Amino acid sequence: MATVKLLTDAEVDAIPAAKEVFDDIRATRKSDFVNNFWRGLANDPALLKRTWEGLKAVMTVEGALDPLTREMIYIAVSTANGCSYCVHSHTAAARARGMTDAQHAELQAVIGLAGQTNHLVTAMQIPVDEAFLR
Amino acid sequence: MATVKLLTDAEVDAIPAAKEVFDDIRATRKSDFVNNFWRGLANDPALLKRTWEGLKAVMTVEGALDPLTREMIYIAVSTANGCSYCVHSHTAAARARGMTDAQHAELQAVIGLAGQTNHLVTAMQIPVDEAFLR
Amino acid sequence: MATVKLLTDAEVDAIPAAKEVFDDIRATRKSDFVNNFWRGLANDPALLKRTWEGLKAVMTVEGALDPLTREMIYIAVSTANGCSYCVHSHTAAARARGMTDAQHAELQAVIGLAGQTNHLVTAMQIPVDEAFLR
Amino acid sequence: MATVKLLTDAEVDAIPAAKEVFDDIRATRKSDFVNNFWRGLANDPALLKRTWEGLKAVMTVEGALDPLTREMIYIAVSTANGCSYCVHSHTAAARARGMTDAQHAELQAVIGLAGQTNHLVTAMQIPVDEAFLR
Amino acid sequence: MATVKLLTDAEVDAIPAAKEVFDDIRATRKSDFVNNFWRGLANDPALLKRTWEGLKAVMTVEGALDPLTREMIYIAVSTANGCSYCVHSHTAAARARGMTDAQHAELQAVIGLAGQTNHLVTAMQIPVDEAFLR
Amino acid sequence: MATVKLLTDAEVDAIPAAKEVFDDIRATRKSDFVNNFWRGLANDPALLKRTWEGLKAVMTVEGALDPLTREMIYIAVSTANGCSYCVHSHTAAARARGMTDAQHAELQAVIGLAGQTNHLVTAMQIPVDEAFLR
């Protein structure tokens, strides 16, 4: 259960500023499904709008990284931050963008390895090599 | 300053099990440079060997993800874990694998966005949508 | 399910040192309800007592910050640490101290923003400005 | 040393989209000083602009929480995330908004307490009380 | 629900490279029970094998630390990382290795205290004493 | 540089409530050296006293875990939390309590392994086995 109300479509429809964002989410994603994250944010239409605008700008436009790579980076951060919802939603998004089982397994392997060496580095308090400070 | 001694080449040369790993690092990377992380691990040749074998298997072999993508995922995890050394060393590795300024900027944008939505999701305690539990 | 037993009132009553703390929790909070956190700690009456004394000293006395502000800071830390129970319990506490929906939304906005810029700063490894080191 | 170039005023001036944001930062804050965070972001004017717009909307406008409270929440998140730069910069910002030594000490006390109980809750895996799921 | 399939014994049996690891897990632990973690990893037999070999080398061999101490250290890291599954599985492992209620309580007390002082240190940005840099 | 003043002995001597704690730290540790952490906390004598009393109760008394084990658990939590100062100070404390190089190496190996499997578990969102919920 959330700490805020998850607004239903009817409730969102009653808030013009929220409805406008939901319409854009649906149009951008070409899908009627709007997941719970946005239904929680809809309690504050300004926060909803800013968050969606930011996500749209970073994740959906043409860019230097392909959309699947961006989703895998998102999963990596969400995993390290221990955000269960985010791991679930972005794994679904990555699969929708074509992530194969082999890519998923390799993503996990890198995430696990980074988790291990991050901890080793911190336990040893390794100073940054001069060579890395260009 | 580290919590362990960072072994010099001379000190590593005196430990056959560590020297063997350093030789493989140099051969695999085609470079004489061995960074501080491995010099710290060299205090425990078994841990050094296991860690290097794991990293070699995940990061240097042909796989489902290209090497640059793997380095960017590594940076993402290291950033979320707040490992300064790791961010430095893997940003250097990503650049060595051809990461452009535009890709680096986009990587940062995704990492920042994920950090933001991870926190929003946790503050709201959003339950996972049925649709994400395939 | 917890990794320790959550003691019932009857079980707590049988441990004088734990009962004494529960009595003080109830008296201080002017409520008969004692939440699961304390029921877990009751397995170790000394840890229970120290933890409660610490919390009472920080959260319930007259201080330089008003009680609601303290609860919102608590939520902020708990969110960044990904402690689901803590987010739930301190959001309830903040509401009990009068947190409005508008304040809750703003709290979330700040938490999300901080999460974003924390990640950006770490990805870029920004050095502290001289001006901040007074 | 950062993983990106920290742009000087002269370099920012040569990028109109970045200069526009720097001008707004200076106007909004009524100060000529622009800290390193923005100089790193200036490498990607679009990311710079989005981040500044987000921060301006959350931290500088009239809202349900007073500006000092928002800065203290920012410090709380930054501390839990272990972002040294962010702790420094937002502690400076909080002082500039009038944070007293007594308030700073109390903020630390709450942050420390939350860190402690977050860890205890997670170690015990305490289930959320029904009462907290309104 | 996991983001990967948790393989049943029948499914693992059909993958020789995975079955070999499961056989070794069962032989090493002298138990037929194989927990979900390995069933998730079994989707990638190479990752399964590397992870098990690493865990076997660190956790099951004769070493400088007794097995119970190693499990308690594992619980400490897992708690700080907020990994619910890991706290559960390694608390079970620690109990199987003889952890008493008194030891468990003391482990929690140390974890909680460290969580508290870690946060206080970060909030105050305490510089490392010369004396600690031997 | 800290965000608070690190009080010198002369400054602490001028605050009776802080001096009393410093005297107890010196007496308990049988050493004249008081590290920076306490000098930062001394700005708030009540927080200083509570923190020291908590640490003394958990780390210095006879208990179910030997003092070295407690210090290694402290290092484990501090590493996972990325607290550089804490890793340094508690590694020094562990060495003072007799931690050998072999024990230190094994501690690091467990910390690294836990970091790895914590991340793998979270990426896969492994559900807790019934067997672990006694």
Chain C residues within 8 A of E107 when measuring between CB atoms: none
- The minimal CB distance from E133 to the residues B1, B53, B57 is found for B1
Q: What percent of chain D has pLDDT over 90?
A: 96
B44/F108 touch (CB, cutoff 8 Å), yes or no = yes
In this prediction, what percent of chain C has a pLDDT beyond 70? 99
> Residue C92 corresponds to which tokens in the numbers above?
């309830």
Q: Give mean pLDDT, residues C58-64.
A: 92
Distance CA A29, CA D130 (A): 36
- Mean of pLDDT over chain C: 97
Q: Between the CA of residue A27 and those of A34, A56, B110, F2, what are the distances in Å?
A: 11, 12, 22, 50
The single residue listed with the structure tokens 């260009």 is A134
The predicted pLDDT at position E1 comes to 87
Q: Which of the residues C5, C41, C44, C50 would you substitute to probe the F interface, choosing the one with the greatest number of F C-beta atoms within 10 Å?
A: C50
For chain B, what is the largest distance between any 2 Cα atoms, rounded to a whole number of angstroms? 59
pLDDT at residue C128, rounded to an integer: 97
Nearest CA to F117 among E108, E69, A119? A119
- Residue-range domains of chain F with CATH: 1-61 (1.20.1290.10), 64-134 (1.20.1290.10)
Distance CA B124, CA A42 (A): 12
Q: Is the ipTM above a cut-off of 0.95?
A: yes
Nearest chain E residue to B54 by CA distance is E50
Q: Which residue of C has its CA nearest to E95?
A: C3
- C neighbour chains, 3+ CB pairs within 8 Å: A, B, D, E, F
CB atoms within 10 A of CB A11: 15
| E83 → closest Cβ in A82, A88, A91 | A82
Nearest by CB to residue D119, choosing from E115, E122, E124, is E115
- Residues of chain A whose beta carbon is less than 8 angstroms from a beta carbon of chain E are 82, 87-88, 91, 101, 104-105, 108-109, 112, 119
E partners (3+ CB pairs within 8 A) are A, B, C, D, F
pLDDT over 90, % of chain A: 96
- The reported pLDDT for the residue numbered B1 is 87
pLDDT-derived band at E124, boundaries 50, 70, 90: very high
CA-atom Rg of chain F in angstroms: 18
The residue assigned the tokens 């170790």 is C44
Interacting residues of A9 by C-beta distance below 8 A, sequence separation 6+? A22, A34
Beta carbons of A54 and D57 less than 8 Å apart: no
List pLDDT tens digits, range D48-60: 999 999 999 999 8
Cβ separation of A54 and D54 shorter than 8 Å?
A: yes
What is the mean predicted confidence (pLDDT) over A89-106? 97
- Quote the percentage of chain F above a pLDDT of 70: 99
Q: Which chains touch D (3 or more CB pairs under 8 A)?
A: A, B, C, E, F
- The rounded radius of gyration (Å) of the Cα atoms in chain E is 18
Buried b (16+ CB within 10 A) or exposed e, A51-72: bbebbebbbeeebbbebbbbbb
pLDDT confidence band for E134 (50 / 70 / 90): low
- When pLDDT is cut at 50, 70 and 90, the band that residue B134 belongs to is low
CA separation, residue D34 to residues B13, C131, D40, D89 (Å): 49, 10, 11, 11
pLDDT tens, position by position, C37-51: 999 999 999 999 999
CB neighbour class for E3 (10 Å; exposed up to 12, middle 13-18, buried from 19): buried
Average pLDDT, chain F: 97
Q: Is the dihedral of CA E16, E22, E28, E31 positive or negative?
A: negative
Strand (E) or helix (H) holding D22: helix D16-29
Contacting E with CB below 8 Å, chain C residues are 3-4, 43-44, 47, 51, 77, 81-83
In the chain, the amino acid numbered E130 is E
| Record: contact A46-D57, CB cut-off 8 A | yes
Contact D109 F44 (CB under 8 A): yes
Please give the C-alpha separations between residue E96 and each of B113, E72, E93, E103, in angstroms, as whole numbers.
42, 12, 5, 13
Mean per-residue pLDDT, F12-37: 98
The fraction of chain D above a pLDDT of 70, given in percent, is: 99
pLDDT digits (tens, 9 = 90+) for A49-71: 999 999 999 998 889 999 999 99
Supply D95's token pair. 């002082």
Condensed to tens digits (0 to 9), the pLDDT of residues A112-129 reads 999 999 999 999 999 999
CB under 8 A, 24+ apart: contacts of B32-38: B33/A131, B34/B9, B35/A129, B35/A131, B35/A132, B35/B89, B36/A126, B36/A127, B36/A128, B36/A129, B36/B2, B36/B6, B36/B85, B37/A117, B37/A120, B37/A121, B37/A124, B37/A126, B37/B85, B37/B89
**Do C100 and D65 count as a contact with CB atoms less than 8 A apart?**
no
Select the residue from A4, A44, A50 to test the D interface by mutation, using most D Cβ atoms within 10 A.
A50
Residue whose token pair is 């602009």: D49
Over residues E80-95, the mean pLDDT reads 98
Measured between CA atoms, the residue of chain A closest to residue C86 is A3
Residue of D nearest to A55 (CA): D50
pLDDT at F134 over 80: no
Provide, as residue numbers in chain B, all residues whose Cβ is less than 8 Å from the Cβ of F82.
Answer: 81-83
pLDDT at A18 over 70: yes
Those residues of chain D that have pLDDT short of 70 are 134
Q: Yes or no: say if A76 and B71 are a contact pair by the CB < 8 Å rule.
A: no
C-alpha Rg value of chain D to the nearest Å: 18
Alpha helices in E42-100 (DSSP H): 45-55, 67-80, 84-96
Residues in E whose CB is inside 8 Å of some CB of C read 82, 87-88, 91, 101, 104-105, 108-109, 112, 119
In tens, the pLDDT along E94-123 reads 999 999 999 999 999 999 999 999 999 999
Query: What average pLDDT does the structure give for chain B?
Result: 97
Chain F residues closer than 8 Å to C62 by CB: none
Contact criterion met (CB < 8 Å) for D120 and C6: no
Interface of C with F (CB under 8 A): 1, 46, 50, 53-54, 57, 133
CA distance to partner chain C, nearest, from residue D38 (Å): 10
For chain A, give the mean pLDDT: 97
Backbone angles phi, psi at F114, to 5 degrees: -65, -40
Q: Is the pLDDT of residue A134 over 90?
A: no
Q: Do D43 and B105 touch (CB under 8 A)?
A: yes
Q: Is the pTM of this model over 0.95?
A: yes
Interface test with E, best of C3, C5, C77 (most E CBs within 10 A): C3
- CA-wise closest residue to E80 among F75, A110, C87: F75
pLDDT reported for residue C134: 67
Chains touching A, CB cut-off 8 Å, 3+ pairs: B, C, D, E, F
Burial class (CB in 10 A: 0-12, 13-18, 19+), D98: exposed
Inter-chain touch F47–D88, beta carbons under 8 Å:
no
Rounded to a whole number of angstroms, the distance from the CA of D64 to the nearest CA of chain F is 28
CA A3 to chain centre: 20
pLDDT tens digits for range B79-125: 999 999 999 999 999 999 999 999 999 999 999 999 999 999 999 99
Give the up-direction half-sphere exposure of residue D70: CA atoms within 13 A in the CB hemisphere.
25
Q: Cβ E100–F64 below 8 Å, yes or no?
A: yes
Residue E103, pLDDT score: 98
Alpha-carbon gap: B52 to the closest alpha carbon of chain A (Å): 10
Contact E15, E47 (CB under 8 A): no
Q: Give the whole-angstrom CA distance, residue F114 versus residue F76.
A: 10
E-chain residues near D85 (CB < 8 A): none
CA distances from E30 to A62, B100, E22, F110 (A): 54, 52, 12, 22
Closest-CA distance, C18 to chain A, in angstroms, reads: 31
Question: Hey, of D108, D124, D125, which one would you mutate to test binding to chain F, going by the most F CBs within 10 A of its CB?
Answer: D108
In Å, how far is B2's CA from the nearest CA of chain E? 8
- What is the identity of the amino acid at E123? A
Nearest to F87 among B3, B77, B83 (CB): B3
Determine, for residues B112 and D43 on separate chains, whether the beta-carbon distance falls below 8 Å: no
F33 → chain E, closest CA residue: E131
CA torsion, points D47, D48, D52, D55, in degrees to nearest 10? 50
Contacting subunits of F (3+ beta carbon pairs below 8 A)? A, B, C, D, E
Q: What is the pLDDT of residue B34?
A: 98
Structure tokens at C32: 């008969």
Give residue-wise pLDDT tens across range B59-70.
988 899 999 999
